[in-house]
Structure 1
């Protein structure tokens, strides 16, 4: 018995270590991707979309709070790419770790479910997991930079707002995608037209997003119907990839000041970009949650009707048969 317990504990410890390593690697990889499109605000390099925060929140939701050291390690790895680590680097990494931990703790308090199959789950992820908890990472980072002298006077709030929106967009765009990927199961039989519809949807989203973000006309709103289509037809599994495609296409266009972002200052460009990313992510996430909740309710009602019919049949078979006969059949029997 003792040997069995030791083996079980060893497997749990190995699983925890592997989960931490996976989260650390995902955080680092997300950071490398996020740094491909960065802007300079007040002499500080920030990204309009910071995927590691979304990776961290998803990792904690899926594997539990025990993987928080992986987030800290990943944050230190990303910061180490800018230069030698010091006390200020550790403080920023601590803030980047504390924010997703706080997000998961708050979400747990409100009964959040990772399936995102209720409207309340979508609202909680948006306002508590993304917008509220990332106040911590942005505030800690900017205060540390201010103490280090790396943040010029008068630039605190511009840098803070850019840092906060980047972290929040990371949660809104990346976390739902990872949660949907974790829950995805390939159905045994999928009609070919469903695969064709999904492929056409992704391709159309990419094409329309490219057109909207590179055209001089104000066409950014054109991406929203496609995100809505994805949410209605495929729920979270369709809405999350489409929202990610919109962000991936829009961020480089904003950094290059192309299309509708041309001729605007940095602040105006970031406002327009985050409005687009936020609208796409919010529309897809909330509409997918509402659609899933509706479908689950319908299935529950159907199951309840079937159970009730079985109970009636057991109690009074003849009455149950008479009850469920179509009107025309009942009339013929009477005759």
Structure 2
């Protein structure tokens, strides 16, 4: 708010000053300063100050005796003019320092466009409301336009350059006596020219343009800030003298033309001088900050300029060699061709050295030589041909090249070594891969990787072989991999995998898979879940081993164990040293000794002391590969009772044919012995009874034979006698057969005569 009020006050004050000095209409002066102040203020401090512009113009117009509507119309047009001008200047890259001709041209162009637009708008509006007569409108428009343009060219540059003075301070000369002399000359010139003190014999003594040399001097020597100030003072004094009806201005047009030409010329020359001064300063800064030596000579080879890097490189002091032939100072002796005149050398070798890089030996002031890289260019400065050489010390580069060559040799040697090592490593890697594949094949172990993001399963070669699939086939998806699992195991696989992923833990399970040939294989799967840096699971990696044979062996082992455990015979396993290592339930029942107590005990606890040597000898012979026939051996129970046992001792042989243990099958003969004894007793009794029967049969047959003999003697008839004799013979035959049968030990076979 404070800035708006200050701006409004400035507009009111400068408007009244302008009207008081030179009023050309009721609403303007020859230089309408508020326009220049408004444009500069909105450009420098932002368009947000437009209320201050509007307020100042409204107050100014009201103080001139116009109505409020007229004041608002004029204020709106002037504010719009300043607002649009500020926007255009900012958009077009205008710099307030006005150190470029571009800035002067942009300011002039924006001033013309915005002024013509605003004056046309305000004129037409005032004509429409009857404030201005239509026939006076062109004159009013011209007067207002000239006043606004003059203010922008005189007042705005002063504000721009003084606000941006920090950018101009280093390039101006405010601390010398020259500014004082300039001020005196400007004042004297204004008094002489505008006061009519020029002598009549001087050509154009009635022209105001004799002040231009002083303005141009200010522009060239002091830059845009002082040039704009000098132009404002000069044109202001011209207005003052014109208002007093003095000076060389015959008409108002002469005064306006002078203001325009002097201000534009002064600002343009100041921008050119400032730009050239900046270029000189940049060139000087480049020369002094350049790392390479820069040597400038004329065509004759005489030194014109050395930069600090050249002084340091050659060990020379510029004042000592300035204007002298440079060749003896920088070219080593003995190189006659290079000692010739630089003019002749350049003339003869113009196409070979100008604009190209040369490599040669150079010399310092102390006589030491060094390798240098030289680039030579030729330029014309104010009609004088100059030769500029850029010299760079190549000593670090040469040393670096030598070091690089050594490094290259070392690198090539190391590359050869590493190549040989790499070849050997690749060979070892191939061998390792081959061994790994063979090991996996022997162990029937394959690896896998499940990508949880892409849902792709990767299998190793051996796992493909276990599954009966082609390793060159496309990778399987997770769903395709699950289809290889036996349907009854799929739910369990998903549950275990989901639990492992959720807990970020390891997993292990046994599954059945269907091979391509429709055969079932049992796999033991072990794996773990891998996570990324944020702890999110990304993959499941692990291995799968074909345990089909082991599972079958375990099943057969379990069946064999059940068979052994359910056997009624005692089955005992011994080590080759005779230590008990297996003990079935029948053995525990037979000996009254539990398996935990028996296993690990010596075999001699199973027999009486007098039979221990027999058992040890049997075990030793079987371990040595001998076959032992079934035999009986007395054994002893835990309670000390002895019993006869039918023993079968055999060797336990591994797949390689080695004896790894002894097995013994025992059957208690006590019940059998008891039955055998009973049978023997029964047989003895039956034998005695049979002998008695045989004896009685024999006696009976003898009695019958005797009776028949008596009957033969009593028979008178020969036929009857013969019949009785035949019967007697038959009876005797039967007695003989019975005797043979009685005396025979084998009733199944009987030999007769």
Separation in 1 of the partners of 2:198 and 2:137? 31
Distance 1:24 1:209, change over 3 A: farther
Distance 1:39 1:108, change over 3 A: same
1:90-143 CA distance string (max 9 Å, x none): 011000111111111111221111111111001111222x22211133112212
2:71 counterpart residue number: 89
Asked if 1 retains the 8 angstrom alpha-carbon contact of 2:191 and 2:197, the reply is no
Q: Does residue 1:135 correspond to 2:116, yes or no?
A: yes
Q: Does residue 1:226 correspond to 2:247, yes or no?
A: no
Separation in 2 of the partners of 1:40 and 1:66? 31
1:178-197 CA distance string (max 9 Å, x none): 12222336789954423422
Separation in 2 of the partners of 1:45 and 1:318? 66
Asked if 1 retains the 8 angstrom alpha-carbon contact of 2:28 and 2:144, the reply is yes
Task: Return the TM-score normalized by structure 1.
Answer: 0.81
Q: Does residue 1:252 correspond to 2:240, yes or no?
A: yes
Separation in 2 of the partners of 1:249 and 1:318? 53
Q: Does residue 1:121 correspond to 2:103, yes or no?
A: yes
Q: Does residue 1:196 correspond to 2:180, yes or no?
A: yes
Distance 1:212 1:118, change over 3 A: farther
**Please, what is the CA RMSD of the aligned residues?**
3.1
RCO greater where, 1 or 2, for CA within 8 Å and sep 6 or more?
A: 1
Q: 1:178 aligns with which of 143, 159, 168?
A: 159
Q: Does residue 1:33 correspond to 2:17, yes or no?
A: yes
Deviation at 1:40, TM superposition (A): 4.4
1:321 counterpart residue number: 313
Task: Return the TM-score normalized by structure 2.
Answer: 0.38
Separation in 2 of the partners of 1:318 and 1:151? 74
1:283-318 CA distance string (max 9 Å, x none): 111111111111112222222233322799xxxx99
2:137 counterpart residue number: 156
Separation in 2 of the partners of 1:297 and 1:153? 53
Q: 2:228 aligns with which of 236, 240, 252?
A: 240
Range with bigger deviation, 162-171 or 87-96: 87-96
Paired residue secondary structure (1:309) = coil
Paired residue secondary structure (1:197) = helix
Deviation at 1:215, TM superposition (A): 9.7
Distance 1:254 1:306, change over 3 A: same
Range with bigger deviation, 52-61 or 30-39: 30-39
Asked if 1 retains the 8 angstrom alpha-carbon contact of 2:38 and 2:82, the reply is yes
Separation in 1 of the partners of 2:224 and 2:29? 25
Q: Does residue 1:67 correspond to 2:55, yes or no?
A: no
Asked if 2 retains the 8 angstrom alpha-carbon contact of 1:30 and 1:52, the reply is yes
Distance 1:153 1:190, change over 3 A: closer
Asked if 2 retains the 8 angstrom alpha-carbon contact of 1:235 and 1:291, the reply is yes
Compare the two structures and name the one with the higher helix fraction. 1
Write out aligned runs for 1:96-115 (5 A).
Answer: 96-115=78-97
Deviation at 1:271, TM superposition (A): 1.4
Separation in 2 of the partners of 1:31 and 1:172? 16
- Structure 1 stretches of 4+ moved >6 Å: 186-189, 213-216, 317-320
Asked if 1 retains the 8 angstrom alpha-carbon contact of 2:194 and 2:248, the reply is no
Distance 1:150 1:132, change over 3 A: same
1:212-259 CA distance string (max 9 Å, x none): 599995221111111111101111122112211222122233345434
Asked if 2 retains the 8 angstrom alpha-carbon contact of 1:214 and 1:260, the reply is no
Q: 1:211 aligns with which of 178, 195, 201?
A: 195
Distance 1:193 1:159, change over 3 A: same
2:8 counterpart residue number: 24
Separation in 2 of the partners of 1:250 and 1:204? 13
Compare the two structures and name the one with the higher strand fraction. 2
Separation in 1 of the partners of 2:64 and 2:310? 79
What stretches of structure 2 of length at least 5 have no aligned partner?
295-308, 332-364, 369-753
Range with bigger deviation, 143-152 or 221-230: 143-152
Separation in 1 of the partners of 2:183 and 2:247? 26
Q: 2:273 aligns with which of 291, 313, 333?
A: 291
Separation in 2 of the partners of 1:230 and 1:146? 44
Write out aligned runs for 1:265-304 (5 A).
Answer: 269-304=251-286
> Considering only CA atoms, is the larger Rg found in Structure 1 or Structure 2?
2
Separation in 2 of the partners of 1:232 and 1:172? 18
1:142-188 CA distance string (max 9 Å, x none): 12321232322311111100100000000000011112222336789
Paired residue secondary structure (1:133) = helix
Distance 1:140 1:256, change over 3 A: farther
Separation in 2 of the partners of 1:176 and 1:299? 24
Separation in 1 of the partners of 2:236 and 2:310? 63
Paired residue secondary structure (2:131) = coil
Separation in 2 of the partners of 1:215 and 1:58? 41
Paired residue secondary structure (1:35) = helix
